[in-house]
Amino acid sequence: MNLWDLRCQKKVFSIPDIHQKTPTCCLFTPNGNCIITTSTDGSTKCTDLRSLRTLLTLRDHRNAVSSAAIARDGKLLVTTSWDKTVHLYDIETGNYRREGPQILADGHTGSISSCDIDDNGIYLATGGHDKCVILWDTEKREVKLCLKRHTDWINDVHMTKDGKWILTASKDRLIRAWNMEVIERLPFSYLPGNEQTVLTLKCPNCEKNFIQTTTSDWRRRPKCLFCDLDAKTNN
């Protein structure tokens, strides 16, 4: 692992042997004092840049760790893996030391390759070898959207800091920009299953359009997401 000074375009120093196998991802912590690294050896590490001492080692995934992201306030660390899961670590409380990470598993059907999180630490975007881009709600620990336009696996995914855009790069040689503000006006009613049909419906109550998928193993929702959200807000 090398640290570079972009002002003079020179290598400052190298950090040898952080991982036993190939590193897959590296990023600075928000305060710039440490780096987070992931590896095919199944570990995630936090290394202090001053002392070069490993402050934290996580080994909860059952396969290679492909990427990591950390919220701007440094409270939430996210890791993704070839084991098809996303792990959430509450760095502020340290509860993961006793209880383990919170695991998001009901999303991707293939290895997860990349992730990014918005500035508020609420919405998380992940891309996978199943050709899907998934937007997660980290507070509710559930899938919010599943985007399926790429024809090959997703190599990388990034969110703008305000969470309004998601940028994805795929092996299909395409880079896609997703406008989340537009998608918010046409939200998916997503539930896991074997998708058969995608419908654009107009709600008879609020007269807003929304997108809904129908599958072989779940019933169609009786009302649109806008009415559903309004009902939850009023309650």
Which tens digit of pLDDT belongs to each residue from 76-127?
A: 999 999 999 999 999 888 889 999 999 999 899 999 999 999 988 999 999 9
- pTM, rounded to two decimals: 0.76
- At 161, the pLDDT band (50, 70, 90 cuts) reads confident
Positions of E strands within the chain: 2-5, 10-14, 23-28, 34-39, 44-48, 54-58, 65-70, 76-81, 86-90, 102-104, 112-117, 123-128, 133-137, 142-147, 154-159, 165-170, 175-179, 188-189, 195-202, 209-215
159 and 214 belong to one structural domain: no
Domain of 144, in residue numbers: 2-185
Give the domain CATH number at 115.
2.130.10.10
128 and 88 belong to one structural domain: yes
192 and 181 belong to one structural domain: no
- At 198, the pLDDT band (50, 70, 90 cuts) reads very low
- At 235, the pLDDT band (50, 70, 90 cuts) reads low
77 and 51 belong to one structural domain: yes
pLDDT > 90 fraction of the chain, expressed in percent and rounded: 57
- At 183, the pLDDT band (50, 70, 90 cuts) reads low
Burial (0-12, 13-18, 19+ Cβ within 10 Å), 167 = middle
Per-residue confidence (pLDDT) for residue 208, from 0 to 100: 60
139 and 203 belong to one structural domain: no
Query: How far does Cα 93 stand from its chain's mean position?
Result: 21
126 and 142 belong to one structural domain: yes
134 and 193 belong to one structural domain: no
Which tokens sit at 146? 């599943």
148 and 203 belong to one structural domain: no
Give residues with Cβ within 8 angstroms of 95, minimum separation 6.
none
Q: How many domains does the chain have?
A: 2
Mean pLDDT of 29-51: 95
User: CB–CB of 213/199 below 8 Å?
Assistant: yes
190 and 84 belong to one structural domain: no
Mean pLDDT of 164-186: 81
